[in-house]
Amino acid sequence: MRYWRISQRWRKCPTSLPPAIPASGRSPAPSWSSFCIILMAYAVIKVFFANLKRGGILLIQIAVGSLYMFSVPRGYLDGFTQWCKQVVGLCLTAFLQATILVAGLMVFKEKALLGLGLMLSAGEIPRIAGAFGMDTSTRANLMSAVYTAQAAINTTRTVVQAVTK
């Protein structure tokens, strides 16, 4: 039976998952350490760039969102509802990815495999959210864009005509 030391007490090693720091106090095998470092770097970089891209898309979505309001009085609600779903989906996936990545980093010290699993699963949040109906893509609805542009042009014409009279 192996024992490991935690805060000045000796305990039995758990049999389910190995601790990130072995019981003997020695450093783990170099191959295991390099494997963990590579997986951690991959997960952190993947989530970082995904959130960076998602942040840029969210800024563009917020800027374009006011244009969808022109088409609401005309009865074209599909563009506005799709815009709302995209904004909610983008915010939710960014929050969940960051939360699960940080949880994986926190758990890694105690349970290495569980921490790595959490960190790698953080990259799959957009796919899982898409399976449950959240729109995390940036697909363009061509008809909605046409209606929005027409509504903005017509509203601008009306305002200009009202001001000039």
For 63-91, write each residue's pLDDT tens digit. 888 788 877 887 878 888 888 888 888 88
How many percent of the chain have pLDDT more than 90?
Answer: 3
pLDDT of residue 1: 47
Q: pTM to 2 decimals? A: 0.60
CA gyration radius for the chain? 25
Q: Given this model, what pLDDT does residue 161 score?
A: 87
Q: What is the dihedral of CA 133, 138, 141, 142, to 10 degrees?
A: -170
**Letter string b/e over residues 40-57, b meaning 16 or more CB atoms within 10 A of that residue's CB:** beebeebbeebbeebeeb
Stretches in the chain below the pLDDT threshold 70: 1-28, 135-148
Please report, for the chain, the start and end positions of each structural domain, with discontinuous segments joined by +.
Answer: 31-151
Quote the pLDDT of residue 40: 86
Q: Give residues with Cβ within 8 angstroms of 123, minimum separation 6.
A: 43, 46, 47, 50, 97
CA angle, corner 131, sides to 126 and 135, nearest 5? 60
